[in-house]
Structure 1
Amino acid sequence: MTDPTEDLAERAQKVPKEAGNNLKREIGLFDAVMFVAGSMVGSGIFMVSADMGRLLGSPSLLLSAWIVPGLFVLCAALAFGELAAMYPKTGGMYVYIKEAFSPLWGFLQGWTMFTVIQSGSITADAIAFARWVGVFVPVISDTNYIVHPIHISSGYAVSLSTVQALGVGCILLLAWINSKGVKFGKIMQSAFTTINLCTMLGLVALSLLLGWSKGSGMLNFRHFWEQVPTVTEVLPGVTVFTSRLALYGIFLLSLRGSYFAYDSWANITMIADEVRNPAHTIPVSLVAGTSLVGLLYLLCNLAYLVVLPFPQIQSAPYDRVAAAAMDVLAPGVGSSLVALGIAITTFGCLNALTLSGSRLYWQMARDGLFFPVAARLNKNSVPGWALAIQAIWAILLTLLRTYNPETKRYGDLYTDLLSYVTLATMFFEMLAILAVIRLRRTRPNQPRPYKVPGYPWVPLCFVAGAVGIMVALLVFSPATSWPSVLIVMAGALVYWLRGRMGGWAPRPTQ
């Protein structure tokens, strides 16, 4: 029987030739910054402010709920810079956790990424892209079925609507493009991210220039600190008005929306072997990219407040706050412009997720913690098999549907899964930040080309924020939080079974 915690270097000499590290360093500083920003900017910034507004009930709290996670992410980016400089190789968070704690914890992070977080995000962006395209092409609709739902149980079904078909097409297209070499993925990512950032700047500029006269949001600044009565109960009888403790807890709970918009900020660390001078480029790109996006997110929410009265932000149709704001500024065409911008944004984010996720699974396979075939590079020096496995799983998540027998309505399986893993996402990011502190103690002589400024307070700032958000999730949203624990426990079972069966592949250190 293979010991699951044995030293990964013991069988390094047995690495098959096809698993060798022949990745090409094609990504420079500008491309890295665009990759960080492009991984973060999806559809969230254009929509989640509505739900956050319903929870918080005031303009001041809404803006604060975007500033606070922005500062958390900046602290995390500064800390990750030290880890990336110490271990400038593909895998990112998985590598840091594995090196600081154990292969088990590294595997659990990678397991959660593959089963839900990364694959679910790919599916979510693919479906979001298709739905926004449906604004212009009505035949692309959730109710226009190519294959009507086939029930596989009382609560689940498989279907293929035109929205799902376009989503599947996007997943396959980007897997194919990225299989042609990192240069192609890099060029596409930089181009789409530039368009995305220009779209956001255009929305902000138009809102700040015209919103004061065309919009009616001036009331938001006259009553900046006042709370409106229309707020959401997180538990029966519990709102931000219930008590000061409830206010603090609900504020932390609301950060799940803004933090979701910031998510994927560390994806650049997953592709370190394809970054030029990674020990310098990755830390700089992390800080620059997260700072840029954080500023744009704050300006976007300021733009919403300039144009829309707060109750309209709370009640925006389908939570499309950006579309509601643009309809005020450019009646008749505003929502269409936003739909086009979001479609482009989600496609760019989908490309970044596709590229980075495959590299994580490639590294895991080289460590004997994923399917062995995923350790192979194709003729273009990219992990083609890892791209294929990732695409297949994301497509399965796209086709599977949830079903409510009472309402007779279908939902998206990936939506439930993503809501279930918010707690796990925060936990593993916190664990990676704690790796900075642990490695300072266990490997004090390891070269550190870059050290996090303000140590240990900067890493601990993120840890404190993560703990607060996780506690709020467990208290106010237990139904969608405890499944995170079950998903991670399932990963621990898989890891144990892998050890019982002698592992999946030779386990190199590189």
Structure 2
Amino acid sequence: MKIEKEGGPSKRKLSLFDATMLVMGSMIGSGIFIVSADIMRNLGSGYWLIVVWVITGVMTVAAAISYGELSSMFPKAGGQYTYLKEIFGKMMGFLYGWGLFTVIQTGTIAAVAVAFGKFTAYLIPALNDAAPIFQSGGYKITWIQILAIGVILLLTYINTKGVEGGKILQNIFTGSKIVALIGLIILGFLLVKNSFWAGNMSFGQDAFNNLKTDPSGNFLKSGWESISGMAIMGGIAAAMVGSVFSSVAWENVTFVSGEIENPKKNVVRSMVLGTSAVMILYLLVNFVYLNTLNRDSIAFALNDRVAVAASEQIFGSGIGTIVIALLVMISTFGCVNGIVLAGARVFQTMAKDGMFFKAALKNNKNGVPERSLWMQGIWASALCLSGQYGNLLDMISFVIVLFYMITVFGVIYLRIKQPGLERPYKTWLYPITPIIYLLIGAAFCILLLIYKQQYTWPGLVIVLLGVPVYFFINKKEQQD
């Protein structure tokens, strides 16, 4: 295998600080404010809630540390797509890129943008109260969806004006949400008079008294009772769908490696610093939930908005709602910007390999892939209108972890097959770190296949639909 040297027209405008802000900003969207409700419904105990977030944190940081070795070997735009293509061939790279464009990247943009719209509706109730713009049967287009599309198109436009504008916006919004989250964490312990910590942290037999579940296997409000170890494992896997999805997108920084200063060192540094900081923040935010709310209030928070319920306990009902609405708006706006900025670079790299529309190939006068940005933005906007982005993301979490596992396995594969390749950075505690990720990831995927199949096969189908597309593109390329 020949490692290509970095190059091309991209100028290196992103520092280590910028790259770390991109990692953190892309990770922190709306999930941390919502998914803990579903985790509590699945597992019934604050103890297991924390276990889920700790496992997710270990997974995430282990993957970031492992990716660092690949980022130092292939320090160019395209990131994970490039790693998979270089290690396992063009087809594997294409299938990842196909999944990224069809749903992983664009679906995330759509889902987070709609979350921005929904929390904006807290401050502007007319958005919620307005009649749908269009409705036919169960399908409808609302003003919240239109607002989401407006945000996507605005941020796409800003990013076509150059990396500098997107970088500044990213740093401002990421910095703001980090400060706001730290403030929420501190006040969540200082201002709350009645702590529910001790009751929430019970576990084992006592945590599941009188267990009853709904058809999906979630615990019902009427009680919690003893369950078997395997059922707990299945519950953990199902609960981790939310925590895993709230902790992805850190790899977006690898997509813009071509624009990062000293990428052989700064990409891995940004991934490890960013993922570690975010997972610590996530744990602390969950500590606030467990301190301010009882078990049922977390599990059955209105519309799963646990952060709103906790904030109302801290600041009072009126102010608390406004505080969280503003925080989520800042968080989701910055998250969409980071994902928009990074994703287009992958599709441009795919176009260079003949694996994507040729129009995505060229940079504009500002040195950014404008057409690739607009293709991504238009498809993400279409997903907003589809109303299916949330379901797609549930389905794709399984596939995201599979691609992470394949990429992490690539570190071990290259060590065995080509030990002599230059590795400016080597994975810490190799082979323990990648093996930890592979073991947890495999357990997660196997348990989902057993207990929550609706989260598995649809995502696989979406990715496998890329196989005939790949052969069609390859055939056309050979004919040309």
TM-score, length-scaled by structure 2? 0.94
Alignment of 1:296 with 2:281, yes or no, is yes
1:65 touches 1:255 (CA, 8 Å); kept in 2? yes
Alignment counterpart, residue 326 of structure 1, candidates 308, 311, 329: 311
Question: Quick one: which amino acid aligns to residue 207 of structure 1?
Answer: G
Taking the aligned partners of 1:142 and 1:492, their CA distance within structure 2 comes to 44
Taking the aligned partners of 1:140 and 1:489, their CA distance within structure 2 comes to 38
Taking the aligned partners of 1:494 and 1:112, their CA distance within structure 2 comes to 12
Partner of 2:11: 24
Partner of 1:263: 248
Partner of 1:197: 178
Partner of 2:333: 347
Alignment of 1:181 with 2:168, yes or no, is no
Alignment counterpart, residue 402 of structure 2, candidates 422, 427, 444: 427
1:73-112 residue pairs with structure 2 within 5 A? Answer: 73-112=60-99
2:42 touches 2:218 (CA, 8 Å); kept in 1? no
Structure with the largest fraction of helix: 2
Taking the aligned partners of 1:117 and 1:363, their CA distance within structure 2 comes to 17
Taking the aligned partners of 1:143 and 1:120, their CA distance within structure 2 comes to 25
* 1:129-174 CA-partner distances (Å, limit 9, x unpaired): 011111111222385323x1257xxx7x4x4321111111111100
Alignment of 1:417 with 2:378, yes or no, is no
Structure 1 residues 285 and 362, CA gap change in structure 2 (3 angstroms): same
Secondary structure of 1:227's aligned partner: helix
Query: 1:264 Cα shift?
Result: 0.6
Query: 1:92 Cα shift?
Result: 0.9
Unaligned runs of 5+ in 2: none
Partner of 1:36: 23
Secondary structure of 1:145's aligned partner: coil
Q: Percent identity?
A: 38
Structure 1 residues 240 and 367, CA gap change in structure 2 (3 angstroms): farther
* 1:339-371 CA-partner distances (Å, limit 9, x unpaired): 110011000000011011101101111111100
1:55 touches 1:240 (CA, 8 Å); kept in 2? no
1:238-277 residue pairs with structure 2 within 5 A? Answer: 241-277=226-262
Taking the aligned partners of 1:420 and 1:105, their CA distance within structure 2 comes to 20
Taking the aligned partners of 1:391 and 1:84, their CA distance within structure 2 comes to 26
Secondary structure of 1:141's aligned partner: helix
Structure 1 residues 421 and 142, CA gap change in structure 2 (3 angstroms): farther
Alignment of 1:366 with 2:352, yes or no, is yes
Taking the aligned partners of 1:282 and 1:416, their CA distance within structure 2 comes to 32
Taking the aligned partners of 2:250 and 2:306, their CA distance within structure 1 comes to 23
1:85-234 residue pairs with structure 2 within 5 A? Answer: 85-141=72-128, 144-146=131-133, 148-150=134-136, 157=139, 159-211=140-192, 213-221=193-201, 223=202, 226-229=206-209, 232-233=213-214
Query: 1:249 Cα shift?
Result: 2.1
Question: Quick one: which amino acid aligns to residue 268 of structure 1?
Answer: V
Structure 1 residues 143 and 460, CA gap change in structure 2 (3 angstroms): farther
Q: Which moved more, 1:360-369 or 1:244-253?
A: 244-253
Structure 1 residues 355 and 377, CA gap change in structure 2 (3 angstroms): same
Query: 1:231 Cα shift?
Result: 6.1
Unaligned runs of 5+ in 1: 1-6, 13-19, 401-411, 506-510
Taking the aligned partners of 1:142 and 1:246, their CA distance within structure 2 comes to 41
Q: Which moved more, 1:479-488 or 1:338-347?
A: 479-488
Partner of 1:436: 411
Taking the aligned partners of 1:219 and 1:499, their CA distance within structure 2 comes to 59
Structure 1 residues 377 and 150, CA gap change in structure 2 (3 angstroms): farther
2:208 touches 2:226 (CA, 8 Å); kept in 1? no
Partner of 1:313: 298
Partner of 1:454: 429
Taking the aligned partners of 1:486 and 1:503, their CA distance within structure 2 comes to 27
Taking the aligned partners of 2:391 and 2:153, their CA distance within structure 1 comes to 23
Taking the aligned partners of 1:438 and 1:310, their CA distance within structure 2 comes to 45
Alignment counterpart, residue 458 of structure 2, candidates 483, 490, 497: 483
Taking the aligned partners of 1:450 and 1:260, their CA distance within structure 2 comes to 27
Query: 1:422 Cα shift?
Result: 1.4
Secondary structure of 2:122's aligned partner: coil
Taking the aligned partners of 1:237 and 1:166, their CA distance within structure 2 comes to 33
Query: 1:479 Cα shift?
Result: 2.3
2:312 touches 2:321 (CA, 8 Å); kept in 1? yes
Q: Which moved more, 1:336-345 or 1:244-253?
A: 244-253
Size of the alignment, in residue pairs?
471
Secondary structure of 2:191's aligned partner: helix
* 1:76-97 CA-partner distances (Å, limit 9, x unpaired): 1110110000000111111111
2:241 touches 2:394 (CA, 8 Å); kept in 1? no
* 1:452-478 CA-partner distances (Å, limit 9, x unpaired): 011111101101111111112111111
Taking the aligned partners of 2:256 and 2:363, their CA distance within structure 1 comes to 14
1:40-51 residue pairs with structure 2 within 5 A? Answer: 40-51=27-38
